[in-house]
Chains A and B, each alone.
Chain A
Amino acid sequence: MAFKYRSNFLYAAFGLVTILLAIFLSGCWDRREINELAFLSSMAVDLEGEQRLLTYEFVRPVATGGGEKGGGTLNHRQATLRSGRGETLIDAGQQITTGLSRLVYLAHTNAVLVGEEMARRGLGEILDFVDRNPELRRTTLIMVTRGAAREVLTKVQGDIETTLGKEIMGLHKWVQSSGYGFIPTVNDVYFDLSSETATTVLPVVELSPQPFPPVIGAGTPSSGGGSGSTEGRVEEPETVRTVRLNGAGLFYHDKLVAWLDADQTRGWAWVRNKVRRAVLALPCQENNTKVAVDINEAHAEVSLDRQGEQLQGKIKLKVEGILLEQQCKLDFTREEAVKSLENRMAAQITVEISSALNQAKMAGTDVFGFGGALHRRYPEVWRQLEGRWNEEFKKLPVTVSVEAKLRRTGMTGRPWQPGAR
């Protein structure tokens, strides 16, 4: 009996010691305290000659609730910038770690900015870097800059957000409701580049200097205030450098080939269903006045027809809008007025689309997805044209038909006139 007890106890003790040793001797080799990490918020990738220049924007952790002196500070960016140069991206990244007291932690990276030169060279290595690294996510946003990306990253000042990465996250979330842009994730880019046409469009992010304080000439003393309590405002207006999206870069395969301006970007966005909301400012009949229509529904279809040997591209777009503002005095309870406005809406959108289309055709990059449409509709034709589709696309005649509808005229019907009841 005693022997049995003893052996059981021995086995248990042995097992326990083994397990404990296995746990404790292996140590916490993977342990990294959260306050020993340098959280990357965004990064800029540039090409300098043959060297890659990597600029990292780290979040500087600041305890919440403390330190702020109140609203209206010029720059409360809480970021630290480091850059490194190297033959490859990871090489450049390694150079950064030699000057950093913390472990570079990429998992919370929000955005990758690609400089112009790098974009012309090709996105491939960046995509590979993001995809291969276990920390970086495919949901990282990616965009291009005109000129060097590090210019934007280093010169931007935070006025709402504390880091550029956060700023771009916010843009990503809300910019589509202006219709002027769209920030894709790395995953979207992969998706685009693996489609038939292997093209993509990345938005351009640029510095936009804003006067600060925002009112021009705010240095003048406030008129209504008392004598003693005027605040000692800075006399000359400063500028605060924020970022904005302006236009987009067209890519053929992973290489930047052309730019779109803001309107053209919206033209492209209409076709690829990237517009969630947009405002059209349309001319009224009267002298120089405008009507503003808020588009809240847009759906586009891209298709291809074949008549004999001739291919014919078709873009069909249906939009619906609400009248939000008018400077003239048109009575939109009358059908003619609505009809004519709808025609003007369609015309303006058509102009935007055609402009973007021309730009894309000139660059020979099918960012509208005609290739895919052809593949779906006439697979055998696609197989013939597949190799030289970008040449074919340059010659492709495209008709754009926009069907615009004005659904509501806002909260009122007839325009307001003095004396009207």
Chain B
Amino acid sequence: MLLWIWHRLWRQATPGKQTSNEHALLITTRLEANIDSLKKTFGRSEDLVVREIELPGKKLALVYVETLIDRDVVQRDILRSLLALQALPLPGDEARFSRLIRARLTIGDLQEERLWSKVITGLLDGKAALMIEGFSRCLLLGIEGWEKRPVEEPANEVSIRGPREGFAENLATNISLIRRRLRAPELRFEAMSLGRRTHTKVVICYLEGLALKGVLEELRRRLQRIDIDGILESGYIEELIEDAPHSPFPQLNRTERPDKVVADLLEGRIAVLTDGTPFALLLPGSLFSQLHAPDDYYERWPLSIGIRLFRFLGLFIALLLPSLYVALTTFHQEMIPTPLAISIAAQREPAPYPAVVEALIMQVLFEILIEAGIRLPRAIGTAISIVGALVIGEAAVRAGLMSAAMVIVIAATAIASFTIPTFGLSQAVRMLRLPMIVMAGFLGLLGIFAGLTVILIHLVSLRSFGEPYLSPLAPFIWEAQKDLVVRVPWWAMLWRPVLSGWRDLRRMKPGLHPFITPRDKNAGDELETLLGKDNGNRVAARKKRKKRKGKLARKI
């Protein structure tokens, strides 16, 4: 029955062909007709401005959407230049006139267009259309200018050490943030426009020669498949292109940090920027890359290893602590040290609910608290946090609703779940916690392990654009262990990640260990030749190697 309704809805919801082929037409030579047609298209939109200009012997019209353009530019550069033409003799034929205008207008972005559809898109992109009586083309002038949020510190991905810039909503700003960090001519930005009505600009960003062609191809194919009325956030795209649409785990990494995007680009990954949102998508994604924070690479490496270990531990605590507590206190009391068991028993003495129910209530309350904390108007935030802390913490225990140990467990879990640097993964873990508690409440440790097994099977079977989700652990790749739990120092990070960066594996000149003395400053070159980066020089390298074998052996 439900199925039937579902299918009914599905069929109805499938949109028919949109009846808007009229824009495939060309513009006419009659200015009046063109203007009428434009006005008809835009209807009663207040912000469509048609400025008619009379030049000797020529009628022009400048059309633009007022809210999308920079008014200064219109006044300073376009109108003034056009009015200056009044003094000149104007050529009659189209080509010469067009050349004259091109020469006179002080506008950088200028193109000729004959298709109505292009003109309208141009207008909506913030361009001005200059139409001329008797001409079959119009000129599109790029004078975009609208309110932008300035580049600010990313709100959700804070780092102690690292750049403070985060993406803004404006695509051009975001591209410039990336360009400024990666001044390589190989950097490519492929634009496409998605969304039948929103015409959202989406940009694929990658490094030519490094990004894998197959992945790129696949990404283009999946993006082109998208035919939806609107893209308001990169989340739309994410859900439309990901490999396992039913999985709770985010398969594409998202970030609002340009430094993270650049780092991933350098590893051969691909970024997808969406206009109107500060969140970029990075692919192929993997679980472990979502557990890595930018600070890991900026802070001293031994400390980074320690911090990463804590973060991994945090993941497990966030997922398992409440369920372990429930399992131990309701099934496996023999596993708790005697004094603790007795103390928990004493605390639970007045508790009215079984531990599972208690855990579920606390968990749900906590999730609600988090959600409320996000949605709250900022001014009430502190009040609610006090109420939340008091009610869920102290008062619940005092009132005998909860046991104190459970409050501690939930608090520890909550804190641990925020050690996960990406919010998407943290959410996934938070949501998986509830079924784990239920499993623990019904089957104890057995249930936890059953749940873990299911999760693990799911994770192992996931792929993101061909890359296994648990790589480099689940297909175990020894070379990639340098950046999984351990983060080796930069001078030892000789290779890019094998899976995404194999087209150009070498990352740096070897032998950058700062301890190498000036006498050995050529050691890097030697090693490089020995490692055979340059195949043509094999023979020479062998000769060199023979000559310096003794010396090198000592060094190594």
Contact = CB atoms under 8 A, between A and B. Distances in A.
B442 A33 contact: no
Contacts of A135: 334
Nearest to B353: A33
A59 B346 CA distance: 10
A24 B349 contact: no
A38 to B, nearest CB: 9
Contact of A34 (B355, B356, B443, B444): B355
Contacts of B333: 32, 34, 37, 105, 107-108
A23 B443 CA distance: 8
B331 A62 contact: no
A102 to B, nearest CB: 10
Interface in B304-355: 329-331, 333-334, 336, 338, 341-349, 351, 354-355
Interface in B66-104: none
Nearest to B438: A23
Contacts of B374: none
Given A23-B439, A62-B346, A108 B3 contact: no
A100 interface: no
Contacts of A31: 330-331, 354, 441-442, 444
A39 B345 contact: yes
A420 B410 CA distance: 68
A6 B346 CA distance: 53
Given A6-B7, A28-B441, A64 B334 contact: no
Contact of A61 (B345, B354, B444): B345
Interface string A240-279: 0000000000000000000000000000000000000000
The secondary-structure label for the interface of chain B is helix
A189 B7 CA distance: 72
A59 B344 CA distance: 13
Contacts of B447: 23
B329 A33 contact: yes
A59 B342 contact: yes
B329 A34 contact: yes
Given A33-B348, A35-B351, A64 B343 contact: yes
Given A31-B330, A61-B349, A10 B342 contact: no
B345 A30 contact: no
Interface residues of B, number: 28
Contacts of A9: 3
A2 to B, nearest CB: 6
Contact of B344 (A2, A28, A34, A105): A34
Nearest to B334: A107
Interface in A1-28: 2, 5-6, 9-10, 23-24, 26-28
A110 interface: yes
A215 interface: no
Interface string A72-107: 000000000000000000000000000000000101
Contact of B331 (A30, A105, A108, A137): A30
B384 to A, nearest CB: 30
A28 B440 CA distance: 10
Contact of B342 (A28, A39, A107): A39
A411 interface: no
Contacts of A33: 329-330, 348, 354-355
A141 B110 CA distance: 93
A28 B351 contact: no
Nearest to B447: A23
Contact of B346 (A24, A28, A32, A63): A63
Contacts of B341: 34, 39, 108
Given A34-B345, A108-B341, A28 B7 contact: no
Contacts of B336: 34
A24 B447 CA distance: 12
Contacts of B349: 35, 61, 63
Contacts of A28: 330, 356, 441-443
Given A63-B346, A108-B338, 5 more contacts: A33-B355, A39-B342, A108-B334, A108-B341, A108-B342
23 contacts: A5-B7, A6-B3, A27-B442, A28-B356, A28-B442, A31-B330, A31-B354, A32-B330, A32-B331, A32-B333, A33-B329, A33-B354, A34-B333, A34-B344, A35-B349, A39-B338, A61-B346, A63-B346, A108-B334, A108-B338, A108-B342, A135-B334, A137-B334
